[in-house]
Structure 1
Amino acid sequence: MKVITGIARVLVGVLFIFSGFIKLNDPVGFSYKLQEYFSEQVLDIQFLIPFALIIAIIIVIFELVLGIMLLIGYAPKFTTWCLLLMILFFTFLTFYSAYYNKVTDCGCFGDAIPLTPWQSFYKDVALLLFILVLFFNRKYITPIFAPASHRWIIFASFMLCFAFCYYVLMHLPVFDFRPYKVGNNIPEKMKLPEEARKAEVTYHWKFKVDGEEKVITNHGAYPQVDGEFIGVETKQSEENMIPPIHDFVIEGEEGDITQEVLNAPKVLLIVVYNIRSTELEGYKEIKRLSDEALDKGYMVLGLTASGEKLQQKLRKKYNLNFKFYQTDETALKTIVRSNPGILTLENGTITQKVHWYDASDIKL
């Protein structure tokens, strides 16, 4: 049992640290996932939506530090109780999401390792079993450093986590796992790879022939059978595959200009997913940058999901000399974790991407 507890300790500790760090690398993305859970369609606790980012930061830092506490053997009783309560909550949450098909990706490992709802639930069940082993055998969780150093290790871990979190909030995630990372070509990411397998649907047709039930299986064609039709059941071999980028569309008064933008040799994109919540401090530098880009022959445009009135108000307030076009809000949130954010494209390839705070880093 001591050996089993030791194995469980390492597995749980490493997994909590890894999961916490992946989400700490992108706390804004995790806050979007929490907003989805808090929405009316899921848990209906909408009063928490404005605090989603703060809650996200607290959860991921505590998760990461909890993994460190387990590995170094700090306060075994407190640590195992926290682990158990946390995993019970998330097991319930992932089961609820999977059973009622409410949230398609739990966000456990951010965009690094997307999991289906049921995969997330099974992962949490496995973790729960390991944590129960730790909970009932905490006497085997012995410290690996001098106990006097534990508090300093925990304090240093908290400080480093907060410092890293502050950095990614003021800039962008250090590790970008999304399809819109620098170097990716958007048109290529909008296509499925040639080797991608499409889902295969099997039809099970039921007939009553000579008083007996007969089942005929095929891929869709109605069977020519002399008998009474009872019903049909369908089974899908796997989920329908979709390309990494499937919702990138730019529309304006002139219609869909997506291909025109993706074919242009020099493009500066100002991404403002929501004008009501945009950070106004960034527009002085955006004004300077957009003017310089226009002088150098760039196509400059803003992308937003907000309406025409808000667009005009923002343009007038900061004397912006570029137009805004409509794009899906979820797509814009995926493109860049900043509101506003800035990108440059060359024939559809993302060459630069920065937080508005780093607008001066853009090279034209």
Structure 2
Amino acid sequence: MSLIRFFSRLIVGLIFIFSGFVKAVDPMGSTYKFTDYFTAFGLDTLTSLAFPLAIFLSTLEFAVGMALVFDARKQLSAWGAMIFMGIFTPLTLVLAITNPVTDCGCFGDALILSNWETFGKNVIILTLTLILFFGRKQKERSYPLWEQNLLVFLSIVFPIWISVYSYNHLPIIDFRSYHIGANINDGMMIPENAPVDEYKSILKYEKDGLVKEFDETNYPWQDSTWTFVDSEQILIKEGFTPPIHDFSISNETEGDITDQVLHDENYTFILVSKEIDKLNEKSLPGIKDLWLYALEKGYSFIALTASSMEECNEFKTNHEMPIEFYNTDEIQLKTIVRANPGLVLIKNGTILNKWHYNDFPAAKELKGDLAAYSITKHQKLNIKLVFISIISTLLLFICLFLLLSRKTKARK
């Protein structure tokens, strides 16, 4: 039984760590998801809590997971996992039945699950959690309490630091379809022979004051005593959905210029602001400098927003900024870059670089070929991430080795 508890603790702990981490690296993604849930359930007044709730839950998940993996504060970690799964398992059942939001967001953008898949996953985790919860009072020798408390403390500080950094810059790991190196044209392609959505037609007919539903195989088309009332289409099987969809660039003056922008072999700077009236105004000097730089080099510089053209024209007048604004779906804008404003550099539809408004490059930094500049910057970031990953993995294995060594000695 102790072996079952051991593997249950590792499996639940690692899932909690993974779930907490992938949400911590993208706090705005979790914020948008909570906002969607609040809106779907008519709780719009709670949307202001979405961001702090995103930070709190990712931190809680990560800390509980670390405590479980390293067998720290056994009582608290077992209670934490039990409360977490006791709340979210029935909640995901409700979401699976009502389907207010198609993606639960439980693993951020790193792993997309349907609501029914999420519920099934939670049932399995809840089963393992129950094993831990009812075995939490089993007496086993453990390491000093101060070491356990230190582990829990660091497990709280780490995801908070990651969340704050990612919020003030960009997610340190980008799991979305608009990551650096992605080609938007490729992301919108639908393969040949890809499955398409399948619908069932429901036809409503009335006779003698009674309305009855039929389908295309049995509707009374030859019986004149029935009167057609209404029809509806019900989705019975979803087809293939490309990673990037509902993406377009248009305005009232030029119409749709999506293909023109995505097939431009020159560089294009795209300023992204989902709500122009909430754009961080400290970024305006940097935007003007970059616009002048693009103008001088012959590069395109456009802005994408979900705001109305009237708001855009007012913004351009007030800030003396002659940038051409285009409309794009708000969800796509929130997915492209987690900042307002954010900046994207593309060429022939490929995303070469992205910046948070806190990291907009100075025009004087952009020397030489922009593709080479972007690749160099991205390589340096990747080297840092690889180094951090290697160090973190080594520390994890060392801690696991020490933990297993202590337990082996305790049994002897």
Aligned to 1:291: 292
Q: Distance in 2 between matches of 1:359 and 1:273?
A: 17
Is residue 72–residue 143 contact of structure 1 (8 Å, CA) maintained in 2?
A: no
Q: Distance in 1 between matches of 2:234 and 2:163?
A: 44
Show the 5 A alignment for 1:294-313: 294-313=295-314
**Where do 5+ consecutive residues of structure 2 fail to align?**
202-215, 220-232, 371-412
Query: Which residue identity does 2:337 align to in structure 1?
Result: V
Is residue 72–residue 151 contact of structure 2 (8 Å, CA) maintained in 1?
A: no
Is residue 184–residue 350 contact of structure 1 (8 Å, CA) maintained in 2?
A: yes
2:56 pairs with 1:55? no
Show the 5 A alignment for 1:244-283: 244-254=243-253, 255-265=255-265, 266-283=267-284
Aligned to 1:125: 123
Aligned to 2:8: 8
Q: TM-score with structure 1 length normalisation?
A: 0.86
Identity %: 37
Aligned to 2:239: 240
How much does 1:15 deviate? 0.3
Size of the alignment, in residue pairs? Answer: 347
Q: TM-score with structure 2 length normalisation?
A: 0.77
Q: Distance in 1 between matches of 2:317 and 2:239?
A: 45
Q: Distance in 1 between matches of 2:345 and 2:158?
A: 32
**Where do 5+ consecutive residues of structure 1 fail to align?**
204-219, 224-233
Q: Distance in 1 between matches of 2:275 and 2:128?
A: 43
Query: Which residue identity does 1:331 align to in structure 2?
Result: Q
Deviations 1:38-60 (A, max 9, x none): 11x32x22222122111101110
Aligned to 1:66: 64
Query: Which residue identity does 2:104 align to in structure 1?
Result: C
Aligned to 2:95: 97
Deviations 1:14-65 (A, max 9, x none): 00000000111111001100001111x32x2222212211110111011101
Is residue 64–residue 77 contact of structure 2 (8 Å, CA) maintained in 1?
A: yes
Is residue 62–residue 156 contact of structure 2 (8 Å, CA) maintained in 1?
A: no
Is residue 76–residue 141 contact of structure 1 (8 Å, CA) maintained in 2?
A: no
Q: Distance in 2 between matches of 1:81 and 1:177?
A: 31
How much does 1:305 deviate? 0.4
How much does 1:149 deviate? 0.8
CA 1:269–1:18 in structure 2 vs 1: closer, same or farther (change >3 Å)? same
Q: Distance in 2 between matches of 1:145 and 1:46?
A: 46
Is residue 311–residue 324 contact of structure 1 (8 Å, CA) maintained in 2?
A: yes
Q: Distance in 2 between matches of 1:301 and 1:201?
A: 39
CA 1:317–1:250 in structure 2 vs 1: closer, same or farther (change >3 Å)? same
Q: Distance in 1 between matches of 2:293 and 2:17?
A: 44
3-state SS of 1:303 partner: strand
Aligned to 1:35: 35
Deviations 1:145-173 (A, max 9, x none): 43321111222222222222221111111
CA 1:199–1:328 in structure 2 vs 1: closer, same or farther (change >3 Å)? closer
2:371 pairs with 1:357? no
Deviations 1:100-138 (A, max 9, x none): 111100001111110001001111111111111111111
Is residue 345–residue 351 contact of structure 1 (8 Å, CA) maintained in 2?
A: yes
Q: Distance in 2 between matches of 1:11 and 1:271?
A: 40
Q: Distance in 2 between matches of 1:142 and 1:106?
A: 37
289-298 or 154-163, which deviates more: 154-163
Aligned to 1:77: 75
Aligned to 1:328: 329
CA 1:200–1:307 in structure 2 vs 1: closer, same or farther (change >3 Å)? closer
User: How big is the alpha-carbon RMSD for the aligned residues of Structure 1 and Structure 2?
Assistant: 3.0
CA 1:307–1:142 in structure 2 vs 1: closer, same or farther (change >3 Å)? farther
Which has more helix, going by share of residues? Answer: 2
How much does 1:287 deviate? 1.4
Q: Distance in 1 between matches of 2:320 and 2:123?
A: 55
